[in-house]
Amino acid sequence: MGTIRKIVEGVQFPMLTLVAGHSGTYRRVTGINVVESNDLIMFCRPNELVVTTGINLDADEDSLEQLVKQAYAKKVAGFIINTGPFIPDIPEAVISFANQNDFPIFQMPWNYRIADLLKTTFQFIANHHQELSIEEKVLFNLLFHYKQNANAMKDQLAQLGFPQGRELAIITCTTVGTQASIDRYEVLVQFAFQNHYQRFLKLKHKNYLIFLIDKTQINTPNIPFSKIVEEIYEKITLKNGYLDIIIGKGNYHKELENVRKSYDESLTVIHLAQLHNNRFLYKYKEIGAYKIIMAVQNQSLMKSFSHDILGQLYHYDDVHNTDYVPFLRIFLEENGSTSRISERQFIHRNTVLYKIKKIEWLLDMDLSNPFTKTNLYIAFLIEDVLTHQ
């Protein structure tokens, strides 16, 4: 993957000096754009480099600062300032903003031609496009063909920045609904993860975006994974008016053969989050009692437990065409709050109370008893696991 770091470390760009935003060198570079006025920043795309000579900018320092801030808001990879007759020096306000926001700023002397910079950048992007394909192939083989490639996998991952012995995990993203494509969110999700992780491998497989991450390469260890996901969800909801993406993370594993297990764990999180319409379920280690239930080998025992508790209610619903089973699930999800159940079901509070009493009579149980609630909740968990295995 072509990044700012590879531009800094490479020999192809002797004309560029990184003067600010050094912590943002993880940013991916997918293009380059010459922008000479604030009106043209709208044509920039995420992950592009932006170049300016300042020829059409106002003489005051604020105009360049505003251009840099607008470019940052467009999620570009970095900003190149061609210092010379129009921009003699890079203002301190620009340097300060870039350092505060980890936004790479390069200085390019006037004696270098922009045309040469463009040519070199295009070659750089073309070369690293092939590298991206290699990364995708390695991750694909790690997840789906590990046994056939086990001998070479350690060396390949080490060459890509994932040395042996690291704790690795998988993050998977997908959309809800058969018509929604994950492609529309690829840039947004990748940009968020670029801020959080120094390094990752990415694979697009069917309608899934799959990321391999390293526990030691987290840029923001004080920001929990849930916070990163919520920021992504909020941006998508703000943009669409609804949320149609689910993100799940598997556990970390040291053994390469278990990375596929982390992928399966991430899919389990996605499945459970979708099943319960629970946007606050992010990580496999947070799925709680589901882990225990999925590990139980005696399915007959689990079926018997669930049937003993819920069977009578299912039978009553079938005979009388009622909805007490789904109502009971909502009752448990809302912890018995009559007001929240009423709002969620669009029914009067008295109707809620009636249904609660009816279920208590049918099951011969006290729904206010914590032990009863626990058994009912476990019965539904078992049902979910057995139905979707």
- Per-residue pLDDT band at 118 (split at 50, 70, 90): very high
Tens of pLDDT along 163-205? 989 999 999 999 987 677 898 888 889 888 988 888 899 999 9
Asked whether the predicted pLDDT for residue 132 surpasses 70, the reply is no
- Per-residue pLDDT band at 106 (split at 50, 70, 90): very high
Report yes or no: 82 and 53 within 8 Å, Cβ to Cβ. yes
Q: Please state at what angle helix 349-363 crosses helix 299-320, rounded to 10 degrees.
A: 120
The DSSP code for 39 is G
Per-residue confidence (pLDDT) for residue 195, from 0 to 100: 82
The domains located in the chain, with CATH, are 4-129 (3.40.1390.20), 134-287 (3.30.70.260), 295-387 (1.10.10.2840)
- In the sheet where 168-175 sits, what is the strand order? 200-205, 208-214, 168-175, 245-249
Q: Where are the beta strands (DSSP E) in 197-306?
A: 200-205, 208-214, 245-249
pTM value is 0.59
CA distance 156 to 162: 9
Percent of the chain with pLDDT over 90: 58
Report yes or no: 330 and 345 within 8 Å, Cβ to Cβ. yes
- Per-residue pLDDT band at 32 (split at 50, 70, 90): very high
- Per-residue pLDDT band at 288 (split at 50, 70, 90): confident
Torsion from C-alpha of 223, 226, 232, 234, nearest 10 degrees:
-110
Report yes or no: 355 and 324 within 8 Å, Cβ to Cβ. yes
More confident residue, 69 or 2: 69
Tokens of 49: 């480099």
- Strand, coil or helix: what is 184? helix
Residue with tokens 């000479």: 36
